[in-house]
Amino acid sequence: MMRSPHALARRGRPALLVILVLLWAAGTLRAGLLWSHDPLYAYANSYDQTRYTSCFHFHPDRPAGVAPQQNSPQAPFAQFRFITSDDPMCYWSSELAFTGATAAVWKLSAALGAGPSHSVRWTGALRWLALLALSIAVSMAWLRRGDAPAALANAALLPVLFADPANTLYLNTFYAEWSALLAAYALLALTLLWREDPAGRTRFLLLALAALALATAKIQHLLLPLAVAGVVALVEFGGTRRIGWRPWAIGAGALLGLAAQIVQLGRDGAMMDAIDQYNRADVVFTALLPFADDPAALLAELRIDPACAPYSGKHAWEFPDLPEKVCAGLSDFTRGTELATLVRHPGLALRLAAASVAALDPWIAKNLGTIEGEDFAPLPASQPSLGRVLHMWPWLRAACLAAPWLGAFVLLLVPSRRRGRLLESSLLAASVMLVTLAVTVLGDGLADTAKQGHLVTNAALAWLFAGTAMLAARAFPTTR
């Protein structure tokens, strides 16, 4: 007699729970070894972190003569202290939840008699605990539904993907990449988990909050939750000719986050002016000119001083002065001008698209020191990372990035009643990759594509690892 999946899951529940606990423990151990390492292993501050730490008036614990907001790309700092500065440069982001929680812990520690210097590892612990709690909650929810393969696949992401140094190097930092990763994981995991569930106030609110957190994590993700809502709506309409509650919940949070980002982009002040100017220069000189047949002619077409053609391929920070002071006409360059240029020059657009995918390498961010006290030292080989394998074997990296797209294409060609969740997950992964990369490149050129497009590789690998884990789990009698 055929037994139901729920009955089989209940029969193998003790073994499943043991496997789940082992996966969570393995992930925590792997992340913990990097988190606790002395000297500190983390990404150094390229300047971005100070946009968040200034909101709570703390900075690296350095000699008094060093400006609090001075960047330190050569190496990370393990100790921070509260320093009041005249220009707070506070950048709005869901990242402030972790930054604020860390500041609160430090304030409490100081009130209990601790010294003025505080360990950055507090924020790393908070970040990992948030991810671990989400992983446990999602897997247990799948298990209650009798879907052991989904529960195992979700838990397996912790040790093989989230605990990879390409991700955990963000733990002991105040970059927003971890917050974006957590928000994206929450949004996609809950979207798939509640695919067949009825609407509920709590479910609606949690999906909306996840979308809001993702849209506000980084400016590169302001459109990403809207794309997720659109994909879910299309999949639902294609299957049932109606649109359920999930796209509306995601869309509500996405629109609120988009509105917040639009307001932020319109803020006045030196911080926003500098960000806008550097982004504009990076688009022109790293995304357009290097792929133009005649850089000087393209600059003339854009009404920018053609004498700036030698700066082709240069980052904004490599200019001898502020880019708009060096290159007359750059201040009038707009996103509309950028899009119109790509339409008029399809060859340039195609070359840029190919270069954008190549620029996702390496997955472990370059140009930043990762070892406390060193000078631009890379992560030691003793810390294994899939990022190194992907960097050594470009064909494997290309295959991983293509996998969700190929999976979605095949599933669209092979109709099946059972393809719904797999098709939706494939399209969601592909949309995260496309929108993240497109907004990154169109917004900041190829200046820092691998770091700013951090979610692209994560989305591809999550799709591969979760799918592989589900197939493996179904091979065991207790999970079939």
Tokens of 364: 């472990």
Tokens of 196: 């067949």
For 365, the 3-state DSSP assignment is coil
DSSP 118: E
CA 108 remoteness from chain centre: 30
Give the model confidence (pLDDT) of 141-164 as tens digits: 999 999 999 999 999 999 999 999
Q: In the prediction, which pLDDT does 3 show?
A: 46
Q: In the prediction, which pLDDT does 417 show?
A: 60
CA 351 remoteness from chain centre: 25
Q: In the prediction, which pLDDT does 266 show?
A: 87
Q: Which amino acid is at 124?
A: G
Give the model confidence (pLDDT) of 248-274 as tens digits: 999 999 999 999 999 998 888 777 788
Residue 277: phi, psi to the nearest 5? -65, -45
Higher pLDDT, 472 or 244: 244
Buried b (16+ CB within 10 A) or exposed e, 341-352: bbeebeebeeeb
Residue 207: phi, psi to the nearest 5? -65, -40
Between CA 383 and CA 291 the distance in angstroms is: 37
Measured from the Cβ of residue 384, the count of other Cβ atoms closer than 10 Å reads 12
Between CA 186 and CA 195 the distance in angstroms is: 14
In the predicted model, is pLDDT for residue 478 greater than 80? no
**Helices 13-35, 121-144: inter-axial angle, 10-degree rounding:** 170
Higher pLDDT, 214 or 88: 214
In the predicted model, is pLDDT for residue 1 greater than 50? no
Dump strand ranges (E) for 31-139.
58-60, 79-82, 118-119
Give the model confidence (pLDDT) of 3-53 as tens digits: 444 444 455 578 899 999 999 999 999 999 999 999 999 999 988 898 899
**Contact between residue 460 and residue 403 where contact means Cβ atoms under 8 Å apart:** yes
Sorted by sequence, the CB contacts under 8 Å of residue 41 that are 6+ apart come out as: 34, 76, 165, 169, 172, 370, 371, 372, 379, 383
Q: In the prediction, which pLDDT does 470 show?
A: 83
Measured from the Cβ of residue 131, the count of other Cβ atoms closer than 10 Å reads 25
In the predicted model, is pLDDT for residue 188 greater than 60? yes
**Which residues on adjacent β-strands are paired with residue 45?**
72
Q: Which residue has the tokens 């299957």?
A: 239
**Which residues on adjacent β-strands are paired with residue 81?**
59
Q: Give which of 250, 101, 256, 92 is closest to 184, Cα–Cα.
A: 250
In the predicted model, is pLDDT for residue 479 greater than 50? no
- Mean pLDDT value across residues 220-244: 93
Count of helices and strands (H, E) across the chain: 21, 3
Element spanning 119, H or E: strand 118-119
Between CA 465 and CA 460 the distance in angstroms is: 9
**Contact between residue 261 and residue 215 where contact means Cβ atoms under 8 Å apart:** yes
Give the model confidence (pLDDT) of 344-363 as tens digits: 999 999 999 999 999 999 99
Sign of torsion over alpha carbons 43, 74, 80, 87: negative
- Confidence class for position 375, pLDDT limits 50, 70, 90: very high
Q: Which amino acid is at 401?
A: L
The secondary structure of the chain in percent helix, strand, coil, rounded to multiples of 5, reads: 65, 5, 30
Question: Three-state secondary structure along 386-412?
Answer: HHHHHHHCHHHHHHHHHHHHHHHHHHH
Q: Which residue has the tokens 């309409």?
A: 237
- As a dihedral over the C-alpha atoms of residue 400, residue 458, residue 363, residue 365, rounded to 10 degrees, the angle is 170
- Confidence class for position 138, pLDDT limits 50, 70, 90: very high
CA 195 remoteness from chain centre: 23
Residue 134: phi, psi to the nearest 5? -65, -45
Q: So where are the chain's domains? A: 5-34+123-266+386-479, 270-358
Q: Give which of 281, 297, 314 is closest to 348, Cα–Cα.
A: 297
- Mean pLDDT value across residues 330-338: 93
Buried b (16+ CB within 10 A) or exposed e, 394-417: eeebeebbebbbebbeebeeeeee
Rg (CA), the chain: 23
Q: In the prediction, which pLDDT does 142 show?
A: 96
118-119 vs 79-82, strand pairing mode: antiparallel
